[in-house]
Amino acid sequence: MSNACLFSGGKDSTLALHKVITSGIAIDLLITIRPVSKESYMFHYPNVDYTELQAEALGIRHVFADTEGVKEKELADLERALVDNGVELLVTGATYSKYQGDRINAMAKRLGIEHIAPLWHIDPAKELSELADNYEVIITSVSAEGFDETFLGRRIDNEMIERIIGLSKRYGVNPLFEGGEAETFVLDAPLFSKKIVIKKSKSEFANGRGTFTIESAELESK
């Protein structure tokens, strides 16, 4: 049996993993749902293949489970991965999405799996500050009003937090991007034995949406 983390490579799943491990719960499996479609309703998409490097830096076994990203079927793909890997405890980075939280809680109850969401209803400013101080997190996609191409590839630091909070107040954007307003990728974290260094990347922005795509990256000593 396994204790697993639903791991996207973004800020929330990485921080949730950290909080659970440092609380004394051993995690021995990372499950990354890999959408074939860019329009997945529940699962993080940009740069998902590079979660393999993150898993290597964490020293935790990692598996992919592909999904077509169809709204009523993608949870079944996650459920299949949990059953196939004998998961009895699942950690997620859910923060405020009732849609996501309710669906995962119902699935966990049905399977008899314990679901832990250590970031649930966390104060956004507190999470962002913790990330800026202890993590290297970059923004890899934007799709909300006020977010332009200057956000792509940028690290979440104190200056970026001010911009995000400002847009949240102006446009009502969730500052933790729970609605998919933006996506992130973690290059370094306290539990990483090495950091990820991007060697080649590209940015694209059009019609209010943009992506930062990692084309080449490798692990290097901190």
Q: What is the pLDDT of residue 67?
A: 84
Residues in the chain: 222
| Main-chain phi, psi angles of 95, to 5 degrees | -120, -55
Q: What is the pLDDT of residue 43?
A: 53
In Å, what is the CA distance from 197 to each residue of 9, 30, 57, 191, 208? Answer: 14, 21, 12, 16, 28
Reading the block at residue 220, the tokens are: 């290097």
Give the CB-side neighbour count of residue 83, counting CA atoms within 13 A.
9
Domains present along the chain, CATH in parentheses: 2-116 (3.40.50.620), 124-220 (3.90.1490.10)
Give the CB-side neighbour count of residue 176, counting CA atoms within 13 A.
23
Q: Mean pLDDT of residues grouped by 10 in the chain (222 residues)?
A: 96 98 98 74 71 99 84 80 97 92 94 98 96 98 94 98 96 90 97 99 95 97 97
Q: How many helices (H) and strands (E) does the chain have?
A: 6, 9
Distance CA 84, CA 201 (A): 34
Distance CA 115, CA 106 (A): 10
For 167, which DSSP code? Answer: H
Distance CA 70, CA 37 (A): 8
Q: What is the pLDDT of residue 38?
A: 58
Reading the block at residue 53, the tokens are: 């490097």
Report pTM: 0.94
Q: What is the pLDDT of residue 179?
A: 81
Q: How far separated are the first and last CA of the chain, in Å rounded?
A: 33
